[in-house]
Each structure stands twice: as C-alpha cells, then as structure tokens.
Structure 1
Amino acid sequence: MRADNITYYITAQKKIEHFTYDSSSHSLTLIVGNNGTGKSTLLKLMAGILPPDSGQIIQAEKTSYVPDSSENYFKGVTPLFYFNFLRSEFRIEKSFFNSRLMELMKRFNFSERLMTSEIGSLSLGEKKKVMLIGAFLNDPTLYLMDEPTSGLDQESLSNLLQEIEKERQNGKKFIIISHEHAELFKQVDETIQL
C-alpha cells in the first residue's frame, strides 16, 4: 500500500495534509496520537473507505480492515452470515474455511452460541473478536487495525499478539492504531504521530 501526498479535510479547521507512506519496507507500523487527531480517518483512507481530497492511494495488497467499532457496519448481520460472506467474497475453499474458522474462534474465545446473534447486540469485546476473526480468516497481505486490543480479555489479547507476530514472520504487514496497549507491540518498524 502506498499513499502519495494525500490530503483529506475532516473539518474546515482539521485536516490530514500531504501525507506520504509506503508499507513495502515495514512489517508493523503504529499510528498514535490524541483523540480527535484523525487516526481512524487516516486508516479509512488507507483502506479505501474514504477517498482523499487530493493525492493518491495505491492498494497493491489484499487488505483487511478492522474498525474500532462495528455497529455502523453490520446492523442486522450475524457473525455466521458475515464469515460466510467473507468465504464467498474471497473464494475461500470450504474445508480450509471451516477448519480455520474453528481455530480462530478457539484462539479468540468466541463462543459458538454467539454465531447466530446480531453483531450489534454483542459486547464491545465480542464485536472486536468478530472483526479480528474475519480479518485473519481471509488471509490478507496487509492488515489495517483500529484499536484491535480494545475490549479483549487478557487471554484473547495475548493470542492476538501471538497471531500478529506469526503473520509478520510469514511476511504479512500491519498498520495498527493503538492507544491503550501500544507498548505491547514489539519491534515496531515505524510510528506515525498525528
């Protein structure tokens, strides 16, 4: 993923200006800053959810996006529907999908009884687990994660960090917004301060 001199006006007074970034030489980039500085907006620009007002974003990789909150994205949708949508969208072979889904549900302590509940009715931590399972399920080359540790219990947090490290060793790249647990991410290649 490459961002070339992008500018985006959040409000008349607040903007992301002349931002340039290339993920090719970084396996882990942290985006940090105070609340309201545009961290989530920047990640949405990188994910292609928002178009920049000027400049260009080139998506060369298969990208997975984990939002900070899933409420506005998945009204009326169950985890089971969402995961099956990903299987269809990314043409994941069914036997691999089934075994990988069960492995990730176990890794993130996600109960099978929640599979038919609406995502909007789940707790913050449960919503985050749905987004994380979906992110790791489709085997992207670039992960964009907005506060991936928020709401997770200690065991799931530890498992997330292990999964990130394993994927990095396999050549995958991560761009992560982290406020609460930035110190947990080891061997950060670059920090973007907003």
Structure 2
Amino acid sequence: MVRVENITYYISAQKKIEQFTYDMASHSLTLIVGNNGAGKSTLLKLMAGILTPECGQIFQTEKVSYVPDSSENYFKGVTPLFYFNFLRSEFRIEKNFFNSRLVELMRNFNFSERLMTSEMGSLSLGEKKKVMLIGAFLNDPQLYLMDEPTSGLDQESLSNLLQEIEKERQKDKKFIIISHEHAELFQQVDEMIQL
C-alpha cells in the first residue's frame, strides 16, 4: 500500500524529517501526532508525492487522495463546482455514481448548494475543509491522506466524517490522518506515529 524507507527532508537547510521508515501494509488507520512544527504535514506531503525527499524512497501501489489543511491556498480562483467536475474528468469517475455520491456527500457534510459557485477563497475554513473532504471521498481511492480533517467542522459534519471513515474502512480502505484537535475521536487506531 504505502511504504516509506529512510526518508530525509530538509526545510531551509534544517532536517525536518530524518531517516523515517514506515510500512502501512497491515494497518487501516494510522494517526500521526506531534507538536506544531514537528514535520507532520511535511510527512503527509511526501507520502502524497507533493514533496520529494532528499534521500530515501516512498513506494505507493494504490490510488491516493490527499486532504490538505484548509488553511493552504491550493485552489485560488476556483469554485467547488469546477473542482468537483475536474476530479470527475481527471479520475474518470462514472457520471451517475459521481452525481449521486456528490449529492450524498454534500448532504452528509451540510454543504449548501449555493456555495457550489462561490470562489474557494471566499469560503470559511470549515467550508473549504468540507470541499476537500467531499473531493477525497468522490475520488474513491484506496488510501486517504488527511491533514487535520476535523478542523473547522461543525459537530454534525464531524460526526458524519467519522461515519464516512468507518464505512470506508469496512471496504478495506486505508487512512493516514494528522489530528491534534480531535485525536481522541478516532476509534480503533491501528498505529500511532509520534513526531
């Protein structure tokens, strides 16, 4: 699934991650915890292929969805509708499945249809997070990489997120999640990585 072998990554000539090794083969939910600045988000970006390690290797054998921390501005000038349609086209998601799943996820995350044509930059932290989560679940990957997926969510959306994660785990999907706000909410964690 995902295997990391002795990766090292530098930021501004300082080692952020040093000789890190991890194998997810037998785990379905891994939680990454640690202090701010410990390298949690950097590690997830390395696993997602957004960053390249200075040395070491990362092996991925399955389709991956990455949910960034909502404070990152990956989608300036883009609307949720454009983003979701881009995902459908890019990952060749069957249209009927896409449409019904999108409606279901919008309902589950209390994401209003009126926001579909709003620019992402105008959305609140929680609304941006919902867009990223909906997009990840629409993509239907084998592995989810989620950076603080609970941040900015209202209580009902948080509860629905946990239910979605559990449903996906029942289908043998795997999760690597960074969370320090709500780490205690994730039940049946297979492994915890402390950075």
Q: Identify whether the pair has TM-score above 0.5, normalized to the shorter chain.
A: yes
Q: Is the 8 A contact 1:10 1:16 kept in 2?
A: no
Provide the residue aligned with 1:20 in structure 2: 21
Q: CA shift at 1:22, angstroms?
A: 1.3
| Structure 2 unaligned blocks of 5 or more | none
Q: Deviations over 1:39-97 (max 9, x none)?
A: 00000000000000000111111000000025421000000000000000110111111
Provide the residue aligned with 1:66 in structure 2: 67
Alignment of 1:1-194 (within 5 A): 1-69=2-70, 71-194=72-195
Q: CA shift at 1:23, angstroms?
A: 1.4
Structure 1: distance between partners of 2:72 and 2:37? 19
Q: CA RMSD in A?
A: 0.9
| Structure 1 unaligned blocks of 5 or more | none
Q: Is the 8 A contact 1:71 1:120 kept in 2?
A: no
Structure 2 letter corresponding to 1:164: I
Change (3 A) 1:186 1:103: same
Q: Deviations over 1:90-129 (max 9, x none)?
A: 1011111100000000000000000000111100000000
Structure 1 letter corresponding to 2:182: H
Normalised by the length of structure 2, the TM-score is 0.97
Q: CA shift at 1:162, angstroms?
A: 0.4
Divergent runs of 4+, >4 A: none
Structure 2 letter corresponding to 1:174: F
Q: Report the number of matched residues.
A: 194
Structure 1: distance between partners of 2:15 and 2:34? 14
Structure 1 letter corresponding to 2:133: L
Normalised by the length of structure 1, the TM-score is 0.98
Q: Deviations over 1:148-174 (max 9, x none)?
A: 000000000000000001101110000
Structure 2: distance between partners of 1:73 and 1:15? 22
Structure 1: distance between partners of 2:184 and 2:15? 28
